[in-house]
Structure 1
Amino acid sequence: MNFNFLSPVSEIVLAHNELLSLQALGRKIRIHSSQNGIPELEGVDIAILGVLENRNDVNYIGEEFQLNEIRKSFYSLFPGSWNSVIADLGDINKGESVEDTYFALKTTIAILIKKNIIPIIIGGTQDLTYPNYRAYDTIMPMVNIVNVDCKFNLGDSAKPIKNDSFVGKIILDKPYNLFNYATIGYQTYFNSQEEKDLMDSLYFESYRLGAVSKDITIAEPVMRDANIVSVDLSSVKASEVSLNQKYSPNGLDGKEICAIARYAGISNKVSSFGIYEYKPSKDDEITSMLASQILWYFIEGVNFRVKDDDFSDDRSYQKFITLIDSQELVFYKSNKTGRWWIEIPFLTEINTKLKRHTLLPCMHQDYLDACNNKVPDRWYKAFQKNCV
């Protein structure tokens, strides 16, 4: 197996780890060290992967960065009642070119996913979501991406990829594997009207910061349908982070971003998770601790996954049928968890590779809306995508 791309966790972090309580996370996970090499992956459920790539930052001026502070913070936390075996595989260093880094990341993620290991990527810049997406090319025909961000990051796909314009490349580059793209926590004034119109015309989903802050549970069905989750730390408001990290006075607070990370962990579909746009500074304890807690909540969620989306057994769910303008909407509710799904009808004459998308996660509120003759927005967008 080729993991030549990976460099070990720094000696500073390992020395710090030795001083921690034996109950701390850092003493319970398998760590890639220069002394012991890459840990055995047999039995590992979650692998942490640092990527020291930031050259596609629109503001890049040659600065280097490292992830030591995040690791120190994460190692010092205590695990919950978890069964997951966690490994820290160290870092992917900058390649000769950004494309080299992309190749290393894509290859590593593909190996991990094929072994049923969930990679947690800690970046660098958010354009690393692109090689993360490309890792799925040989794994599944259609991919859903959720971006926790204040921007859509669509950009101009004709221009070189940057950390604020990688989604356009995902949409337009072959093979076309993207089924749905959703942004959680976007702030309208950071996005052009053209980008908003494009999101609408492609039937992609977007949830404004105000709506998410008002009701955080709207993020749960979106995460339940995601394969890749990409978190941009600039979606967090300035008061929650350290000096270099400050971006906007408005944004998600620490509690909200951790709740969203937990929803991502609970989702049975999410098979890779990334935290990006980390910018260390001398007063950095606060950002590194927040990033660690986001990681912690994601792993906590993974440990509480419940298999409730197999509807082959009639006793495992309740079925509800409503009628809107002669259109029958069929809802399913899991008896085990109380989570809801809605059926997307397929147009038989259309050749589609989306057979597995027949059930779309939704909320109880969507069912109540349907009973009041209101078509759920998620259902409408998924249905329209099927008709294209």
Structure 2
Amino acid sequence: MDFDFLTPIDTHLLIDIKRLSSQHLSSKVVFHTNEEFPDLSKVKIAIIGVLDNRGNSNSNNNVDLSNIRKEFYSLFPGNWSQTIADLGDILPGNSLDDTYFAVQKVVATLIKKNIIPIIIGGSQDLTYAIYRAYDSLDQMVNLVSIDSKFDLGKEEGLNPSESYLSKIIIEEPNNLFNYSNIGYQTYFNSQEEIDLLEKLYFDAYRLGEICNTIAISEPVFRDADIISLDLTSVKSSDSGNSFTFVPNGFNGKEICSLARYSGISDKVSVFGLFNHDNTKQEAVLIAQIIWYFIEGVHFRSNEYPFGSKNNYSKYIVPLEDEDIIFYKSDKTERWWIEIPFFSNVNNKLKKNTLLPCTHQDYIAATNQEFPERWWKAQRKNIV
């Protein structure tokens, strides 16, 4: 059974957590203990630790999630209806590939059960194992990374956590439809890497862009399947991570807003947090990031791709020699743009599909400007 890879939560830690009052999150969660494994039939969200950071040789020490769990379960829940389970930890395998295999199997099984895994690593190369979990689901995958770097390195001997995206792009089967980076810092990425992302029609948003207008990230998360959050994208003064010193990055409020956008997306099926420093200070922030993600899940509206187009207002904008079609939700006032299906090319879409966008994209189209994300999505289907 795939859940045999999971080890129960430490008994002493569980005793400490259970000492909290009945109003705290600790009493609202079902735990994997030495005595029993949670009944998953009513579980919506599953928390899993992966105690393997061999993919990052710069890591401070072994992965210990005790402080994160203590901080998270001492928070008070929102008015949430979802049942949360803490399924314990995946221990390091004999090799890094063994750990990848375990993560892949556990994540795939949970997604098939319509349970959203929150994966707490470990090094960020575990994103590769999460991506491979979709191999058995027969679907294209959109990956969003909240990171100051693209992790496209290809030099021999480079940390897997700094080159996992290259592995995702190159290896078969290739299920990656789109990759988006939120918060990259130009001086951490070579011009060759920036050019490659452009060539592949992927999306990248600089840290300053997001900090100036954080709402522009919402449509990116709305179209994502996997969210991979590198904790070193948060500046050290807010994260408390002094081992990997980061002078510039997201602040605590911004990273929690991005986590909430991730959760509120109807499409996101895995949320992962990686490259933390095991410190008590950083654990406080991680606990709040997880809290905001779950808060977002509670407010999901079950719109596209799960809802009906009958609940949308349709807008047709003539642009040069074609019409661009927009849809606006009557329920949430969020916007989508239609990506047409090309029957004469070997594309990755089986039908017309809707791409999340902003109201500003619609305004730009009415001013005879092609929305950039629409253009990139078009190119990916033609090439």
Residue from 288, 295, 320 that aligns with 1:325: 320
| Residue of structure 2 equivalent to 1:374 | 369
Structure 2 counterpart of 1:40, one-letter code: D
In 2 relative to 1, CA 57–343 (structure 1 residues): closer, same or farther, beyond 3 Å?
Answer: same
| Residue of structure 2 equivalent to 1:264 | 262
Would the aligned equivalents of 1:47 and 1:88 in 2 still touch at CA under 8 Å? Answer: yes
Shift of 1:177: 0.3
In 2 relative to 1, CA 331–324 (structure 1 residues): closer, same or farther, beyond 3 Å?
Answer: same
Q: SS of the counterpart of 1:4?
A: helix
1:118-157 matched pairs, under 5 angstroms: 118-156=116-154
| Residue of structure 1 equivalent to 2:198 | 200
| Residue of structure 1 equivalent to 2:285 | 290
Q: SS of the counterpart of 2:48?
A: strand
Q: Deviations over 1:16-39 (max 9, x none)?
A: 1122111111111001122x2321
Partners of 2:28 and 2:65 in 1: CA distance: 19
Q: Deviations over 1:282-319 (max 9, x none)?
A: xx332101101110011011111002225985641111
| Residue of structure 1 equivalent to 2:8 | 8
Q: SS of the counterpart of 1:22?
A: coil
Root-mean-square deviation (Å): 1.7
| Residue of structure 2 equivalent to 1:275 | 273
Q: Deviations over 1:159-183 (max 9, x none)?
A: 6761011000000000010000000
| Residue of structure 1 equivalent to 2:62 | 64
Partners of 2:43 and 2:289 in 1: CA distance: 20
Q: Deviations over 1:178-204 (max 9, x none)?
A: 000000011111101010000000000
Give the gaps of 5 or more residues in structure 2: none
Partners of 2:227 and 2:288 in 1: CA distance: 16
Partners of 1:60 and 1:243 in 2: CA distance: 12
Partners of 1:69 and 1:88 in 2: CA distance: 15
Q: Deviations over 1:238-259 (max 9, x none)?
A: 1102244543211011111111
In 2 relative to 1, CA 79–366 (structure 1 residues): closer, same or farther, beyond 3 Å?
Answer: same
Q: SS of the counterpart of 2:161?
A: coil
TM-score by length of 2: 0.96
TM-score by length of 1: 0.95
Would the aligned equivalents of 1:57 and 1:125 in 2 still touch at CA under 8 Å? Answer: yes
In 2 relative to 1, CA 158–325 (structure 1 residues): closer, same or farther, beyond 3 Å?
Answer: farther
Bigger CA drift: 150-159 or 95-104?
A: 150-159
Would the aligned equivalents of 1:234 and 1:245 in 2 still touch at CA under 8 Å? Answer: no
| Residue of structure 1 equivalent to 2:297 | 302
Q: SS of the counterpart of 1:250?
A: coil
Structure 2 counterpart of 1:225, one-letter code: D
Give the gaps of 5 or more residues in structure 1: none
Percent of aligned positions with the same letter in both sequences? 53
Partners of 2:38 and 2:308 in 1: CA distance: 40
Structure 1 counterpart of 2:359, one-letter code: H
Residue from 322, 330, 341 that aligns with 2:336: 341
Bigger CA drift: 345-354 or 289-298?
A: 345-354
Would the aligned equivalents of 1:119 and 1:273 in 2 still touch at CA under 8 Å? Answer: yes
Shift of 1:334: 0.6
| Residue of structure 2 equivalent to 1:75 | 73
Shift of 1:353: 3.4
Q: Deviations over 1:198-247 (max 9, x none)?
A: 00000000011001001111111000000000000000011102244543
Partners of 1:105 and 1:313 in 2: CA distance: 34
**1:51 lines up with 2:72 in the alignment:** no
Shift of 1:363: 0.3
Would the aligned equivalents of 1:237 and 1:246 in 2 still touch at CA under 8 Å? Answer: no
Runs of 4 or more above 6 Å deviation: 157-161
1:142-291 matched pairs, under 5 angstroms: 142-156=140-154, 162-280=160-278, 284-291=279-286
Q: SS of the counterpart of 2:125?
A: helix
Would the aligned equivalents of 1:236 and 1:254 in 2 still touch at CA under 8 Å? Answer: yes
